[in-house]
A = this chain, B = another copy of it.
Amino acid sequence: MDFSIRPVTEAGERYVELCEKHAADFATRADQHDREGSFPFENIEALKESGVMGAGLPEELGGLGVVAVQDLVAGMNRLGRGDGSTAIAANMHIGTPWFVTRLWRDAVARNDTEVAEQTYGILQALTATVVCIGGTEAGTSIGFPLTEATPTEGGWLLNGRKIFGTLTPAADIVIVICRFPRENGEHGWSYAFVPKGSPGFTLNDDWDALGMRASGSQSMTFENCFVPDEFFNAQTTDWGVLDTGTITIQVSANLALSAAMVGIAEHARELVVDTVKTRRKAPSNKLLAERTGIQYQMAELEIDLATARSMIERSAQMVDAYLGTHLDSEVSADEMHELMRDFQCTKWVANRKCIDVVDRAMTLSGGAGYFSFNPLSRLYRDVRAGPFMQAYSPNEAREYIGRQTLGLGTELDI
């Protein structure tokens, strides 16, 4: 009986099956990419070819037609079992076509032909374009970007620096979160689409970290980088206020990131179950699995894993219950924040439990997992990335959850 995170639709089952196949392949190269700190371009190519990258695209555009967040979540979980770096890189892209499809379906349902055509055009472009997000900056939070777009002839000049640019080595376009001056003298919060190779846009090739070393999460610099008007959205929210769509993506796509961490944990578990079921030690030479110390550690590992899986799957179900019955234009920021609150509870627990599972697998390995040649040592480093991920780090999550629970709103005192 399999207690993995489950897909919930046929499209999701196809998606998960593909992801499982990729994972088996990616696993063979994960340690080498980790050692080299090299980006797995061949993995991303394979994901493009199989359709995983376009999972959320409508079937009529060659996509897999994945709509349910739980399906996305289950897929990333499987990819995470093979290579965490590739999973989080791929996930950077996958959310975008999925969300634009929501916009398109909404426009169609509302008979808004103009928007329908526009979004369909984007979807067509996304069949052959890899996108990623330039969100994080040193020195501020994602809601308050300091990267700035200033108006110029026919467009905008972008200046700033982004870090943690996961997937940038393979991305054709980076969606850069920024601020821009408004007529009222305040800043607006927005984002620009910046194609790779744009003058003034530099990828700094400086990703060298504890883990997720194959995720290409380098920094990017924008120096008077020109962005034409059609690649910039000036009809957005105030600086500091995430628009509803961004919250929708943050909840949905980031649940999948947490699920990738579960995949890493599951890989660690598999490695160590193999070990203790086959290895014997003196003096008794009985299987390690027959020692009570191993049994109790294993039970505790199982409990942690069950916790992480349950919370992620249930949060995905709650998101689907809402998004599945609300077109994008019917989604409210308030309700998305309630789902965000639930996700933050899940993220707080699940990402930590994934770390705990790998840590316990390390313990169960009896020291062997501490050697660099043992994949556990990579998993231990990779899985630690989880809590840093968007939205809300552990430094912020409790303030967000607590204040919202008590009816004090969703803004932080930061």
Interface positions of A (Cβ within 8 A of B): 1, 3, 136, 138-141, 144, 146, 163-164, 208-211, 239-240, 273, 276-277, 280-284, 289-300, 302-303, 306-307, 309-311, 313-315, 318, 322, 335, 338-339, 341-342, 345-346, 348-349, 355, 359, 362-364, 366-368, 370-373, 377, 380-381, 384-385, 387-388, 393-403, 405-408, 412-414
Residues of B within 8 A of A284 (CB): 413-414
How far does the Cβ of A381 sit from chain B's closest Cβ, in whole Å? 7
How far does the Cβ of A37 sit from chain B's closest Cβ, in whole Å? 9
Sampled A-B contacts (19; CB under 8 Å): A1-B338, A139-B280, A139-B281, A140-B282, A141-B283, A209-B372, A209-B377, A240-B283, A292-B292, A292-B399, A292-B413, A294-B402, A297-B395, A298-B402, A299-B397, A306-B346, A310-B315, A359-B384, A370-B385
Least CB separation from A140: chain B residue: B282
How far does the Cβ of A339 sit from chain B's closest Cβ, in whole Å? 7
How far does the Cβ of A149 sit from chain B's closest Cβ, in whole Å? 16
How far does the Cβ of A373 sit from chain B's closest Cβ, in whole Å? 7
- What's the Cα separation between A406 and B385 when bound, in Å? 26
- What's the Cα separation between A395 and B281 when bound, in Å? 13
Instruction: Identify the 7 closest CB pairs spanning chains A and B, nearest first.
Output: A295-B402, A299-B402, A140-B282, A306-B345, A299-B398, A299-B401, A293-B395
A339 touches B384 (CB 8 A): no
A342 touches B406 (CB 8 A): no
Residues of B within 8 A of A315 (CB): 310
Least CB separation from A389: chain B residue: B367
- Chain A interface secondary structure, helix, strand, loop or mixed? helix
- What's the Cα separation between A279 and B363 when bound, in Å? 34
B406 touches A289 (CB 8 A): yes
Residues of B within 8 A of A1 (CB): 318, 322, 335, 338-339
A401 touches B210 (CB 8 A): no
Residues of B within 8 A of A398 (CB): 293, 295-296, 299-300
Residues of B within 8 A of A362 (CB): 384
Residues of B within 8 A of A388 (CB): 366-367, 370
Given contacts A363-B393, A363-B395, A364-B395, contact A408 B290 (CB under 8 A): yes
Given contacts A396-B293, A407-B277, contact A144 B283 (CB under 8 A): yes
- What's the Cα separation between A387 and B293 when bound, in Å? 14
B307 touches A349 (CB 8 A): yes
Residues of B within 8 A of A403 (CB): 295
Taking A297-B395, A298-B406 as known contacts, 20 extra A-B pairs with beta carbons closer than 8 A to each other, sorted by chain A number, are: A3-B342, A139-B281, A140-B282, A140-B283, A146-B282, A291-B414, A293-B398, A295-B402, A295-B408, A296-B296, A297-B394, A299-B399, A302-B345, A303-B345, A306-B311, A307-B311, A310-B313, A310-B346, A313-B314, A366-B393
Least CB separation from A372: chain B residue: B208
Least CB separation from A143: chain B residue: B283
How far does the Cβ of A399 sit from chain B's closest Cβ, in whole Å? 5
Given contacts A282-B140, A345-B303, contact A291 B370 (CB under 8 A): no
Given contacts A282-B141, A296-B296, contact A402 B302 (CB under 8 A): yes
- What's the Cα separation between A210 and B296 when bound, in Å? 25
- What's the Cα separation between A80 and B403 when bound, in Å? 27
How far does the Cβ of A135 sit from chain B's closest Cβ, in whole Å? 12
